[in-house]
Amino acid sequence: MKIIEVENLVKKFGSFVANDHLTFSVDEGEIYGFLGANGAGKTTAMKILCGLSAPTSGKVMVAGYDVYRQSEMIKKRIGYMSQRFSLFEDLSVWENFQFFGGIYGLAPAKIRERTTELLGRLGLESEKNQILGSLPLGWKQKLAFSVAIIHRPSIVFLDEPTGGVDPITRRQFWEIIYETANQGITVFVTTHYMDEAEYCRRVSIMADGKIVALDTPSNLKDKYNAANIEEVFLKIARN
Amino acid sequence: MSANISIQAANITKRYGDKTALDDISFDIAKGELFGFIGPDGAGKTTLFRIITTLLKPGNGIMTVEGLDTVKDYIKLRKILGYMPGRFSLYQDLTVEENLKFFAGIFKTTPEANYELVKDIYSQIEPFKDRKAGKLSGGMKQKLALSCALIHKPEVLVLDEPTTGVDAVSRIEFWEMLGRLRRSGITIVVSTPYMDEASRCDRVALMQNGKIMSIDTPEAIRNNYGRDLFAVKTDDTYRLLSDLRQYKPTRTAFPFGEHIHVSLADESVKTAEIISYLEAAGHSNIHISKIEPSVEDCFMEMMSTESSTREK
């Protein structure tokens, strides 16, 4: 089943075309890498997929809902995490989960159950009363990811989730992403670490508002005769 | 102090409340060196750079830049320092040209007087000189910020995470610019969380939790890894990782793109034995080769060693 379906998505700001006829789809349970240079139009497209911004034209369906008419339904079915927007630093770990669980309308008993389960998976049960601000960045990022999936969304959007994170934690983070995808939650991720692109099932690469390549990492490497995704990226961007 | 030294840190410590941001750090950076501080967020890079640029006093220790003490001689020192902070330093409502004039003016000079130094970088954004800085793309802002940090012809250039959040292509272009700039003889100090950028530096310091774990040339750091390292690949990378972790002789196994990098606790194990283990586990298309470690491999190795010593 397709969890995201985009056909001829166009988004203009005045005369500037930020998204120029994007067409792609994402399968349920897939890890999809959304790559592109700065200014290529990734953030604009992500905002549209999250129901935060309306397209100028084109068809966009997310989790079975239409972004033009049902953006509020989309917001309930998605999770979102970025490097910049994280959790509340002055609240404890537990309080952060309560707060975001409440926002997504989960019953208190459900929030307790899922918080316990998610903290257990991270091995951070004993930290639940710690103030978030006192924890290492890597832990905060893992917690932010868990909070983003507390309501069991159909799809979770991760915007540069591992920026600035140490190399060991970065890899642990990707193991959590894999586990999540194995449970059927679709993962839509952007990153500037090209080695991470190889962990995705498929990646698309944007340039100047268009999707210029979309395939599995190994097919892209074959097609561009490249040793790794970084080379593919460079060949596309320097074209 | 040797005349050849540009920046010298002696036992620098900085605490914020009960948090130690920098823990007894010492190093020398030579004149004309392109020196990198490499580490994740929270390693202490920005605190260190604020001390180097006289914006913050160290708690303990002495920092000198070009023979000047960063606390006592800060007025003299600021004239010869160029600083590009991690957060954006430009005036968004001024145009490209106005920003450059403003920063030159602060140092009582003009863009024309030192144009030769910034020409390579500034000429790329000059076609947009009447555009407001706030309307520039990320890559162009970065070039303008670098031009502004250079326009008074500093002796020492300090760049705090200039490539963070920047795409792979712009990162390469930025390092190419630094490489050319280096030939003018200026001392350049850069911080970055990207381990692959280490190879662009003459020497690097690998930082974690307020400490320098290692300080050396990138080649020497790689040569000091001290173990055999293998890159393994099969058709199922995710299962391969867990199978390699369960393999008794395995010491470490970390994903690197489509490969898993493996070091062995028992180095007498032959690659043929690893292959037959993986075949028995049902893997197909098994590729294994001995590789040279990258700086990232070394960084993770040092992180693991540091945390196990701390636990003891």
Domain termination residue (choose one: B223, B247, B281):
B223
Helix (H) or strand (E) holding A33: strand A31-36
Domain boundaries, position B267: 229-292
Tell whether A223 is within 8 A of chain B (Cβ): no
Among B206, B238, B262, the strongest candidate for a mutation testing the A interface, having the largest count of A CBs within 10 A, is: B238
- Does one domain contain both B270 and B155? no
Dump pLDDT digits (tens) for B58-116: 999 999 999 999 999 999 999 999 999 987 789 999 999 999 999 999 999 999 999 98
Residue in A34, A38, A142, A171 to test binding to B, most B beta-carbons within 10 Å: A38
B139/A contact by beta carbon, under 8 A: yes
Q: Are residues B38 and B72 in the same domain?
A: yes
Q: CB contact, 8 Å: B58 with chain A? A: no
Averaged over A66-74, what is the pLDDT?
96
Residues within 8 A of B (CB atoms), A 189-208 only:
192-195, 197-199
What confidence score (pLDDT) does residue A164 get?
85
* Helix then strand then coil, % of chain A, to nearest 5: 40, 30, 30
Verify that B128 and B258 share a domain, yes or no: no
In a domain, B312, yes or no: no
SS3 (DSSP) at B158: strand
Give chain B's mean pLDDT: 93
Are B40 and A160 a contacting pair at CB < 8 A?
no
Q: What is the pLDDT of residue B309?
A: 53
Give the best residue of B169, B211, B306 to mutate against chain A (max A CB count within 10 A): B169
The pLDDT value given to residue A136: 84
**Mean pLDDT to the nearest integer, B231-250:** 93
A34–B contact, CB cutoff 8 A: no
The confidence band for A39, taking pLDDT boundaries of 50, 70 and 90, is confident
- Taking CB atoms and an 8 Å cutoff, what residues of chain B touch A237? 167-169
Name chain A contacts of B258, Cβ cutoff 8 Å. Answer: 198, 217-218, 228
pLDDT interval class at A238 (50, 70, 90): confident
Does residue B97 sit in the same domain as residue B245?
Answer: no
The pLDDT value given to residue B311: 42
The answer to whether B18 contacts chain A (CB < 8 Å) is: no
Is the Cβ pair B167, A36 closer than 8 Å? yes
Q: A84 pLDDT exceeds 90?
A: no
Euclidean distance between CA atoms A57 and A45, whole angstroms: 12
pLDDT digits (tens, 9 = 90+) for A93-147: 999 999 999 999 999 999 999 999 999 999 999 999 999 988 888 889 999 999 9
B104 and B130 co-located in one domain: yes
Domain A2-86+155-237, second-level architecture: 3-Layer(aba) Sandwich (3.40)
CA of B186 to nearest chain A CA: how many angstroms apart? 27
| CB within 8 Å: A166 and B39 | yes
Do B50 and B186 share a domain, yes or no? Answer: yes
CATH code, B286: 3.30.70.100
User: Which of A197, B222, B148 minimizes the C-alpha distance to B140?
Assistant: B148
Q: What is the DSSP letter of B305?
A: H
Contact criterion met (CB < 8 Å) for A168 and B254: yes
Give the tens place of pLDDT for each residue, B23-52: 999 999 999 999 999 999 889 999 999 999
Give the DSSP per-residue string, A128-163: TTSBGGGS-HHHHHHHHHHHHTTT--SEEEEESTTT
pLDDT higher than 70, residue B312: no
Q: Is position B297 within any domain?
A: no
Distance (Å) from the alpha carbon of A160 to chain B's nearest alpha carbon: 8
HSE on the CB side for B72, CA within 13 Å? Answer: 6
Q: How many domains does chain B have?
A: 2
CB-based contact, B254 to chain A, within 8 Å: yes
Same domain, B133 and B234: no
pLDDT in tens, A140-167: 999 999 999 999 999 999 999 998 889 9
Q: How many interchain CB pairs under 8 A, A with B?
A: 87
Work out the minimum CA distance from A193 to partner chain B, whole angstroms: 8
A237: distance to nearest CA of chain B, Å?
Answer: 7
- Judge if B79 and B210 occupy the same domain: yes
Does residue B252 fall inside a structural domain?
A: yes
Last-in-domain residue among B176, B197, B223: B223
Which positions in chain B touch A160 (Cβ < 8 Å)? 165
Same domain, B200 and B283: no
Buried b / exposed e across B216-230, counting CB within 10 Å, b at 16+? eebeebbeebeeebb
Q: Residue B42: list chain A partners with CB under 8 A.
A: 136-137
Q: What is the pLDDT of residue A217?
A: 95
Enumerate the domain spans of chain A. 2-86+155-237
Looking at residue B164, its pLDDT comes to 86
For residue A214, pLDDT over 70 is answered with yes
Q: Which chain B residues have a beta carbon less than 8 Å from that of A230?
A: 168
CB-CB: which of A169, A195, A237 is closest to B256? A195
The residue among A35, A166, A199, A230 with the most chain B CBs within 10 A of its CB, best to mutate, is: A166
Residue B270, classified by CB atoms within 10 Å of its CB into exposed (0-12), middle (13-18) or buried (19+), is exposed
Question: Does residue A231 belong to the interface with chain B, where contact is any CB pair within 8 Å?
Answer: no
Residue B139 and residue B250 share a domain: no
CATH number, domain containing residue B67? 3.40.50.300
Shortest CB distance from A228 goes to which of B241, B257, B304?
B257
Going by pLDDT thresholds of 50, 70 and 90, the confidence category of residue B168 is confident
Scan for tokens 């690097």, then name that residue.
B204
ipTM of the complex: 0.86
Looking at the structure, tell me whether residues B277 and B209 fall in a common domain.
no
pLDDT of B305: 81
Which pLDDT score, from 0 to 100, does residue B40 have?
93
Do residues A211 and A179 lie in contact, with contact meaning Cβ atoms separated by under 8 Å?
no
A233 touching chain B per CB within 8 A: yes
Which pLDDT does position B214 carry in this prediction?
Answer: 96
Tell me the C-alpha distance between A154 and A1, whole Å.
12
One domain for residues B233 and B217: no
pLDDT tens track for B110-142: 999 999 889 989 999 999 999 999 988 778 888
Taking only the tens place, the pLDDT of each residue in B183-222 is 999 999 999 999 999 999 999 999 999 999 999 999 999 9
pLDDT in tens, A13-38: 999 999 999 999 999 999 999 999 88
Please indicate whether, in this complex, the C-beta atoms of A198 and B304 are within 8 angstroms of each other. no
